[in-house]
Structure 1
């Protein structure tokens, strides 16, 4: 299917353009996106800290002192979340104009370096998610623990998913025009 020349834009990547969703929030889209990203970030860390605190206070049932608690949250469980957090910080510290190659930066390799650092940030987040899934399967599911102990692994995966979503929402919110930005064209 060929597009008519009047609708053709040589900068387009996709054949069918993405729909332009105009939400009724108007000038508050930027702020709503930032608050939503912050809420996802808080939810992510609260979920994992809840599991860590439950693990620290887990004890044998009353009347059965010989029953040891089979598993606890250790430093290994913290590593995927730390990787995702570092990836999120790296992704959101990058100047968006430098990635697009705008603003006429003097260094010709600046765009390439910015894209490489962006890739490293997303790779850290993906590695954190993959590590949390591997930890869930290897440490909690294959060992056959009860549901109260597999919650620790599910909380770790939920933390990493929410951190990735938070990074994406914050990226989109920061990429959209702010409430004080005016787009003038002649």
Structure 2
């Protein structure tokens, strides 16, 4: 067994600390804009697939046949679940989840954590549902690459929504650039 390093803190979880990113006093604003960009990218990719599906052409070698697959309601459900999860997660007061600010009611902290769990469960269910739709509807049927794009767009939408939620949660937990430190 080796001796611990001199700067070792037994309360740390990771052996190597995460790198410190110093992006200045506007880190909260940058995080919120980044989350908004990820949200827009997520919905843009899925709407692109839905519009492309609505205007899909039949295979070129058989022009009489209709397109084999379209984006349907089952493709929309995972994105709706992830969007609801994102809304639930970001509507919860962060201080209530931590139990700070002297809320006094321990039941309020428990309820906030339960609702936060429901939000994360909706997001995880949305991602799992999009992967399931991709595999069952597009991959197992062995459609052409132009049709499997619909399933990949669905999965990328849910991943980007999850990343957007994480970035927004972290950036809202950071102190505001308008806070002043008044000390004598």
Aligned length: 182
The equivalent residue for 2:57 is 59
Q: What is the 5 A alignment of 1:26-41?
A: 26-41=24-39
The aligned residue for residue 122 of structure 2 is 124
- How far apart are residue 15 of structure 1 and its match? 6.5
Q: Write the distance in 1 (CA, Å) between the matches of 2:60 and 2:175.
A: 59
What is the aligned counterpart of 1:115 among 113, 116, 121? 113
Q: CA deviation at 1:2?
A: 6.2
**Secondary structure, aligned partner of 1:26:** coil
**1:66 positional shift:** 1.9
Q: Quick one: structure 1 residues 84 and 101, their matched pair in 2 at CA, closer, same or farther if it must change by over 3 Å?
A: same
Output the aligned Cα RMSD.
2.4
- What TM-score, normalized to structure 1? 0.88
Q: Aligned match of 1:139 in 123, 137, 157?
A: 137
1:154 counterpart = 2:152: yes
After TM superposition, the structure 1 = structure 2 runs for residues 7-46 of structure 1, keeping only pairs within 5 Å, are: 12=11, 14=13, 16=15, 18-19=17-18, 21-23=20-22, 25-46=23-44
Quote how far apart the aligned CAs of 1:16 are: 4.4
Change (3 A) 1:19 1:148: closer
Give the secondary-structure state (helix, strand or coil) at the position aligned to 1:109: helix
